[in-house]
């Protein structure tokens, strides 16, 4: 069965950096869509970054270039490098994935497509 395991969260000071990792297992096809979402305290879940089946990465407009996503297909791991962290980045960060064709990044970011597999999340706290 599909499993997503996030790691890399923690507590950092304003301006610090963290790299989140999401290891996916159980996918029959190594080409699948993966994404990072976050849910801030009292807020709704929001998208952060999406990589489609062909490796094209899309970002939410709110990220403003501070975050960078990447995928290591050999390790089936999706990363989120977060720099210049701010207190408003404090959130539970979730990894999600699904079997989806290429080009779906914008639709996932817009909420038009909901991914079917989710990890347990990793907490990021910025003070």
Residues 116-126, mean pLDDT to the nearest whole number = 98
Tokens representing residue 71 in the block: 């995928």
User: What is the rounded distance in angstroms from the CA atom of residue 68 to the CA atom of residue 58?
Assistant: 10
What's the token pair of residue 104? 């779906």
Above 80 in pLDDT, residue 112? Answer: yes
* Across 48-68, average pLDDT: 93
pLDDT of residue 82: 98
What pLDDT, on the 0 to 100 scale, is given for residue 41?
96
pLDDT computed for residue 107 by the predictor: 96
Q: Which two tokens stand for residue 67?
A: 């975050």
């Amino acid at each position: 069965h599909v499993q997503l395991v996030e790691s890399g969260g923690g507590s950092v000071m304003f301006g610090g950096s963290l790299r989140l990792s999401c290891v996916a297992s159980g996918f029959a096809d190594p080409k699948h869509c993966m994404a990072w979402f976050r849910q801030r305290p009292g807020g709704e879940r929001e998208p952060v970054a999406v990589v489609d089946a062909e490796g094209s990465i899309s970002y939410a407009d709110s990220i403003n270039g501070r975050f960078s996503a990447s995928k290591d297909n050999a390790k089936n791991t999706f990363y989120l490098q977060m720099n210049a962290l701010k207190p408003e980045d404090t959130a539970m960060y979730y990894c999600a994935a699904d079997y989806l064709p290429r080009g779906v990044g914008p639709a996932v970011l817009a909420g038009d497509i909901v991914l079917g597999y989710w990890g347990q999340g990793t907490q990021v706290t910025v003070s």
